[in-house]
Amino acid sequence: MDDDGNSQGEQQSKSPQESRRLSIQRCIQSLVHACQCRNANCSLPSCQKMKRVVQHTKGCKRKTNGGCPVCKQLIALCCYHAKHCQENKCPVPFCLNIKHKLRQQQIQHRLQQAQLIRR
């Protein structure tokens, strides 16, 4: 799931962590666009690619146990997206479920912190 449109000059002037972060951001933007795009002939190359990945994930039988690298990568991207997503009806796959799990983890963490303070 490589992102499109990154120049070598841009890559060399940034740290590996910054380049990775920017790459993930571009992939998330492509994912959000592809999930909202209703144009079957969209001219963005990343749109068509991402639509195929999302479609693959919907029908993949191996994703449940982490056996599919394509699904694994998309789910990781969806996790990055969900951490900052504010939409109640987000079209990105898995976003609502991931946000729900993140909220549950936060609640659990706060309860554990409160129990530690009371000791």
pLDDT in tens, 44-53: 999 999 999 9
Cβ–Cβ < 8 Å for 28, 81? yes
The pTM score is 0.77
CA distance 78 to 72: 10
CA distance 29 to 34: 9
DSSP-derived 3-state class of residue 2: coil
Q: What's the start-to-end Cα distance of the chain, in Å? A: 48
Question: Residue 52 has which token pair?
Answer: 């195929």
Domains annotated for the chain, with CATH where assigned, are 18-118 (1.20.1020.10)
Cβ–Cβ < 8 Å for 85, 100? no
The residue behind tokens 């029908």 is 59
Per-residue pLDDT tens for 10-50?
445 689 999 999 999 999 999 999 999 999 999 999 999 99
Mean pLDDT, rounded, for 56-81: 88
State residue 11's pLDDT score. 46
Cβ–Cβ < 8 Å for 80, 28? yes
Whether 6 has a pLDDT exceeding 90, the answer reads no
Whether 63 has a pLDDT exceeding 80, the answer reads no
CA distance 84 to 71: 21
